[in-house]
Chain A
Amino acid sequence: MKPESVAEETIHVYLLRVKEKLRDLPRAQVAEILTELRSHILDRACLANAGITDATVHQALDRLGPPEDLAEMYLTENLLETAGTTRSPWLVMRTLFRLALKSAWGLGIFFVSLIGYLAAIGFFVCAAAKPLYPSHVGLWWNTESHTLVGLGFIWPEPSEREVLGWSIIPLGVSLGCFMFFLTTRFARWNIRRMRRSRGAYSAGDGVGSTWWSRARSLR
């Protein structure tokens, strides 16, 4: 095999490892990232007197760092950018999960948002299940002790009085929408806040905020 072919193969393998980690990003964006990295590797290898060989390509790749770390930095920066404005709870939670792995604050936001979304799902499920299991879905109240016996889907059916009746359907849908909206707003606000305060370097090494982003967040 020619030296150029070996070098090409080395670049290909490196970029493939980057690509595998970037599968959450849009294809066009991944293609642009890979083209730019390939161009950089070739340019960096060309700077060496020996030209593009397997050794000079390896030196260029060493300067870029491990492909997984590089992809992780791209991913976090891009997900933070997109998730700060998206309405997709899947994308929001995926981004928060990444942030949860990097800081205690991120972990807290992740769990609060998870509880919020689960509550929203719970309200929707109650509304959807009422027509199917009318006697098992509702809000049961003990009129003697004035205590809540249960809310939601309960099996077996409690002996206490169910107070909501069919109104649990519009109520469940309304509360589900409200919780969904509130949680998304809360999560997005925190993502934008963390994006501002973490700066560009948090993705790879957990280093704190830049002086610029700190100054902006203090304004």
Chain B
Amino acid sequence: MLPTNFDSLTAERPDLAATLRQVAGWIRQHPDWNLIDPRELARTVKNVDAWALASALHLLVEKGLFRQVYMVTTPSGVLADGEFEDPRQIPETLPDRFNRTFETAESDIIAVLTAPR
């Protein structure tokens, strides 16, 4: 499971403590996720200010608790397999969940947070 102990961060940034607790709660409720998809997080976490959520995610990356990588959505809207350190590394085509090749230029690139190396 992804890290959920953000105590040191909440002490450092009390203004983001509530948001960080919500992020930790979301991770605990999604034990089968090996990444944070900000779209999914924003959709399911209630009553969170968009700026605070973005700041909290930025802080998690800045402090090394998470790593930001890029993924591509398949034509059906889920994330395709394959994480990329830089959007420029994304190949022209990728396989979808059923191994059908699609053109990545036609798809969305999503910045997601994953566990550090």
Chain B associates with chain A: no
B positions within 8 Å CB-CB of A: none
A positions within 8 Å CB-CB of B: none
